[in-house]
């Protein structure tokens, strides 16, 4: 089996450490020239990456290219797409799985990277198309012959955050009269709030669990099934299963339809599989789903380019490595200047931190450097009136990734004081990027801005289904490239599993079953739950 390099094993590592002792000074007079801003610009599918406000030089970029080549980042990405088992720890028991989330959108290529997985995705999409046509033409309707207009999506983690963030991003394109609601938290108030006032007779329920045994999801499903029965409805005629083939949920007696997800697609990378497309298809229609998948597929193809200056997700990943490992920035703020993307940072938080929040390399040895950063963010311009104070004048070092669009999504805007609102939004975005980079001197120390806050900007034309697919795939590829660079397994989540085991043990103690540990009982007493 191939043993891949970590960045500390690369010849470029020491040279980058040396460059990091005196990084490019963005505050130096004349540092940010028009030539620099135009030179440090990378165009990819649907987006341009403007990185002139990063603390890099051509020398640093050349060294990052050497780092990418030595770690064989693009080669690993290519092998991942073609079905090599990448979800593994050498020499230790691990999941030993392929990583093929890209196969769920690899439908637009004459030669798909992994044909069997792509055929499986095509089969599920064909099933989805038939189902959506039946919902549209009345072949699937409620007991009174009325069309379904609502859908409740029940899932948790990757089965919720990604799909929810994409629905919120694209809800302006939803079919007339359609509404999607989400239940994820096992907190009963989450389900109660969604069910309150909802016409259940015209509601479908999509239950998403690969194993068919996810505790939080099944608990919420039971709550919703109970509500359906209390409304005099048959849950089997309202519930859809999105699950693994032959799982406990793959049961036609309990579900109207079943759509299959596969072990080679991890939850946090599953939004372009049926985990996301069943819900999106109901909300937006099949054609919009295909546009979304096409946007993601375009980025997957582009991510196989070897030149980092032409490979947008790879460049974004390596700039992140430079900031995190060489300039010692422990957190990344993802700041979309688009209200529609208000849940996208939350999805990236899970996708990135669950993937690369690891301290063990793929060879089983401890990492000698930091792996994944803390990821957070909120939309602008609201954030400007909240945490931007810390970004500008605080003591924490934060790497910043802005996302913006030249045009508004809905096209409903008007001129006020000589400019429209979208222009004001973009002006704020560009101003923040520059202000963070160059700072401002002042005799009054409280009014001084140090500058040199590294930031980049992903700029798109307008947020569409295709554009959203591309944005999602850019960040998925970025996360994967960074995991390869650190030589960690980005595709398991043992920390999540530990919490599930302990929760199960405490639930057994609550029921008075099994072997009860003294610590469990003491904790229950301390919490007033004995």
Domain at 149, CATH number: 3.40.50.10490
Helix (H), strand (E) at residue 478? helix 465-486
Predicted pLDDT at 415: 87
- Do 125 and 180 sit in the same domain of this protein? yes
Residue 199 has pLDDT above 90, yes or no: yes
159-177 pLDDT tens trace: 999 999 999 999 999 999 9
Helix axes 58-70, 312-321, angle to 10 degrees: 100
Q: Is residue 77 a part of any domain in this protein?
A: no
- Do 41 and 135 sit in the same domain of this protein? no
Dihedral, 367, 368, 371, 373 alpha carbons, nearest 10: 140
Higher pLDDT among residues 67 and 413, named by residue = 67
Task: Classify 473 as helix, strand or coil.
Answer: helix
- Do 482 and 498 sit in the same domain of this protein? no
Q: How far apart are CA 254 and CA 241, in angstroms?
A: 9
213-263 pLDDT tens trace: 888 999 999 999 999 999 999 999 999 999 999 999 999 999 999 999 999
Predicted pLDDT at 522: 75
- Do 443 and 404 sit in the same domain of this protein? yes
How does residue 2 score in pLDDT terms, banded at 50, 70 and 90? low
Query: What 8-state DSSP symbol labels residue 245?
Result: T
Q: Is residue 90 a part of any domain in this protein?
A: no
Q: How far apart are CA 361 and CA 517, in angstroms?
A: 33
Segments of 271-429 assigned E as strands: 331-336, 374-376, 398-405, 415-416, 419-420
Picking from 2-6, 66-70, 381-385, 480-484, which range would have the lowest pLDDT averaged per residue?
2-6
Instruction: Using CB atoms within 10 Å of the CB of residue 233, give its burial: 0 to 12 exposed, 13 to 18 middle, 19+ buried.
Output: middle
Q: How far apart are CA 421 and CA 414, in angstroms?
A: 7
- Do 176 and 283 sit in the same domain of this protein? yes
- Do 120 and 208 sit in the same domain of this protein? yes
Residue 96 has pLDDT above 50, yes or no: yes
Closest CA to 105 of 317, 283, 273: 273
> pTM for this one?
0.95
Specify the number of domains making up the chain: 3
Residue 481's domain comprises: 7-70+305-486
Task: Classify 508 as helix, strand or coil.
Answer: helix
Q: How far apart are CA 289 and CA 276, in angstroms?
A: 9
From the candidates 46, 216, 354, 476, give the one annotated as an active-site residue.
Answer: 354
Overall average pLDDT of the 15-25 stretch: 98
414-445 pLDDT tens trace: 888 889 999 999 999 999 999 999 999 999 99
Q: What is each CA distance from 336 to 382, 401, 404, 460, in whole angstroms?
A: 11, 8, 6, 11
Active site residue 500: yes
Q: How far apart are CA 215 and CA 221, in angstroms?
A: 10
User: Position of tokens 């806050």?
Assistant: 453
Query: What 8-state DSSP symbol labels residue 402?
Result: E
The answer to whether the beta carbons of residues 167 and 173 sit under 8 Å apart is no
- Do 333 and 392 sit in the same domain of this protein? yes
455-479 pLDDT tens trace: 999 999 999 999 999 999 999 999 9
- Do 355 and 442 sit in the same domain of this protein? yes
* Cis amide leading into 381 (omega within 30): yes
Q: Is residue 438 a part of any domain in this protein?
A: yes
The answer to whether the beta carbons of residues 153 and 279 sit under 8 Å apart is yes
- Do 176 and 316 sit in the same domain of this protein? no
From the candidates 176, 230, 385, 515, give the one annotated as an active-site residue.
Answer: 385
Residue 502 has pLDDT above 90, yes or no: no
Q: How far apart are CA 123 and CA 287, in angstroms?
A: 16
The answer to whether the beta carbons of residues 211 and 157 sit under 8 Å apart is no
Q: How far apart are CA 477 and CA 483, in angstroms?
A: 10
Q: Which residues pair with 440 in a beta bridge?
A: 449
- Do 309 and 430 sit in the same domain of this protein? yes
Active site residue 385: yes
Higher pLDDT among residues 520 and 494, named by residue = 494
The answer to whether the beta carbons of residues 464 and 296 sit under 8 Å apart is no
- The rounded percent of the chain whose pLDDT value lies above 90 is 88
Q: Is residue 193 a part of any domain in this protein?
A: yes
From the candidates 2, 494, 500, 522, give the one annotated as an active-site residue.
Answer: 500
Predicted pLDDT at 496: 77
């Amino acid at each position: 089996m191939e043993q891949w390099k970590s960045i500390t094993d690369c010849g470029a590592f020491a040279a980058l450490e040396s460059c990091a002792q005196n990084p490019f000074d963005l505050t130096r007079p004349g540092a940010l020239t028009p030539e620099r801003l135009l030179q440090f610009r990378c165009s990819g599918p649907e987006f341009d990456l403007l990185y002139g406000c990063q603390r890099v030089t051509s020398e640093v970029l050349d060294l990052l290219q050497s780092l990418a080549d030595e770690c064989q980042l693009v080669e690993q990405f290519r092998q991942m797409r073609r079905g090599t088992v990448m979800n593994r720890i050498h020499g230790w028991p691990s999941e030993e799985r392929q990583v093929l989330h890209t196969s769920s959108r690899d439908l637009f290529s004459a030669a798909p990277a992994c044909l069997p997985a792509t055929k499986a995705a095509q089969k599920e999409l064909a099933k989805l198309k038939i189902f959506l046509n039946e919902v549209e033409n009345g072949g699937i309707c409620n007991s009174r012959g009325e069309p379904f207009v609502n859908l409740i999506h029940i899932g948790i983690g990757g089965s919720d955050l990604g799909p929810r963030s994409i629905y919120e991003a694209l809800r302006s394109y939803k079919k007339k009269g359609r509404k999607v609601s989400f239940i994820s938290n096992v907190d009963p108030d989450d389900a109660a709030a969604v069910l309150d006032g909802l016409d259940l007779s015209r509601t479908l329920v999509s239950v998403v669990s690969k194993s068919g045994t996810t505790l939080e999801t099944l608990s919420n499903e039971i709550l919703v099934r109970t509500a359906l029965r209390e409304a005099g409805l048959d849950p089997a005629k309202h519930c859809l299963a999105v699950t693994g083939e032959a799982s406990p949920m793959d049961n036609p007696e309990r579900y109207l339809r079943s759509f299959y997800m596969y072990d080679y697609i991890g939850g946090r990378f599953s939004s372009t599989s049926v985990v996301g497309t069943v819900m999106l298809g109901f909300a937006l229609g099949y054609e919009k789903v295909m546009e979304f998948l096409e946007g993601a597929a375009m980025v997957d193809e582009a991510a196989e380019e070897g030149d980092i200056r032409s490979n947008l997700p790879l460049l974004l990943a390596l700039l992140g490595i430079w900031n995190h490992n060489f300039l010692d920035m422990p957190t990344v703020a993802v700041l979309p200047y688009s209200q529609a993307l208000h849940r996208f940072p939350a999805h990236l938080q899970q996708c990135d931190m669950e993937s690369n929040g690891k301290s063990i390399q793929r060879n089983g040895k401890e990492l000698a450097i930091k792996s994944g950063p803390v990821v957070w963010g909120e939309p602008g311009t609201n954030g400007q009136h909240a945490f931007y104070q810390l970004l500008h004048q605080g003591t924490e070092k934060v790497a910043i990734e802005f996302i913006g669009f030249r045009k508004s999504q809905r096209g409903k805007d008007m001129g006020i004081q000589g400019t429209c609102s979208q222009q004001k939004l973009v002006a704020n975005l560009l101003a923040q990027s520059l202000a963070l980079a160059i700072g401002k001197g002042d005799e009054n120390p409280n009014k001084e801005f140090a500058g040199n806050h590294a930031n980049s900007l992903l700029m798109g034309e307008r947020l569409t289904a295709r554009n959203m697919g591309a944005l999602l795939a850019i960040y998925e590829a970025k996360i994967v490239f960074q995991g390869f660079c650190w030589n960690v397994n980005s595709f398991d989540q043992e920390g999540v599993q530990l919490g599930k085991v302990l929760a199960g043990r405490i639930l057994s103690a609550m029921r008075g079953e099994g072997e009860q540990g003294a610590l469990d009982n003491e904790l229950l007493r301390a919490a007033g739950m004995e």
